[in-house]
Amino acid sequence: MASDVHSIELPNGVTLQYVEQGDPAGIPVLLLHGATDSWRSFEPVLPHLPSSIRAFALTQRGHGDASRPPGGYWYVDYAADLVAFMDVIGLGAALIVGHSMGRAIAQRFAIDFPGRTLGLVLIGAFDGEARNPVVIEIEEAVATLTDPVDAGFVRDFQVSTLAQPILPAFLETVIQESLKLPAWVWRKVFAGIREDDVAAELGKISVPTLVISGDRDGFAAPGVLETRAQEVVGARLVVYQGAGHALHWEEPFRFATDLTAFTESLKCRG
């Protein structure tokens, strides 16, 4: 089981939640969830990580039980929260792991704060959001949401990220986490995803990068991942056959193993 959930107030007044596990002297790894998720997105992965990894799974602004400021739902805002979190915790640099929206935040962080980034692990498609037809379709649907947000819509949204079955209890957990977001936060989050595209800046990323995607990820057209991965200098692409967008839910042990191996490789570089 994961550690107790902690709350932390940043200097900007935003309160985030997180769980922490592992040796305090281990390599810091920050785990960033996707849109409408929370730290619990990494709950299946955490038990498989060794104690040599000091893992922090965060709940970001607007999500889960974190605070919901009226604005600031662009990648640059999330990245600023992340560096503030590291400052408060006392982390000089960390490996940043991001899924979906969290993947784009990780990219933004590495571009803006390269000295604070040991490396990147990017989960899920990373074609440009501004022209991604699936993102456009979701944003149009989200624009019509009212409170209370329809549970059936949320279920369909989360199930659409999967290509393989996951534990029913965990699926219910992520659905309940998404239902914590009021309709206006859904709209803010997806407007930010659509409008704040970092795809054109991938060449600025200069840290070791591992890209992991499922070959049944509905957010990525064939060939997109290979093209985008080549734009990040030295990035390595690993494709999970039969996996969907939320591959770390479907194959948590395999993902944890790949993450651990990549983390260990950073020690060798150091």
Q: Looking at residue 78, what is its pLDDT?
A: 98
**52 in Cβ contact with 266 (< 8 Å):** no
Per-residue pLDDT of 202-261, as tens digits, reads 899 999 999 999 999 988 866 777 777 888 888 999 999 999 999 999 999 999 999 999
E-state strands within 22-138: 27-32, 53-59, 94-99, 117-123
Q: Looking at residue 76, what is its pLDDT?
A: 95
Burial of 99 (0-12, 13-18, 19+ CB in 10 A): buried
Q: Is the pLDDT of residue 183 over 60?
A: yes
Q: Looking at residue 160, what is its pLDDT?
A: 95
Domains, the chain, with CATH or none? 6-269 (3.40.50.1820)
Average pLDDT, integer, range 63-91: 97
Query: Going by DSSP bridges, is the β-strand pair 15-21/53-59 parallel, antiparallel, or unpaired?
Result: antiparallel
Q: Is the pLDDT of residue 21 over 90?
A: yes
CA distance 170 to 62: 21
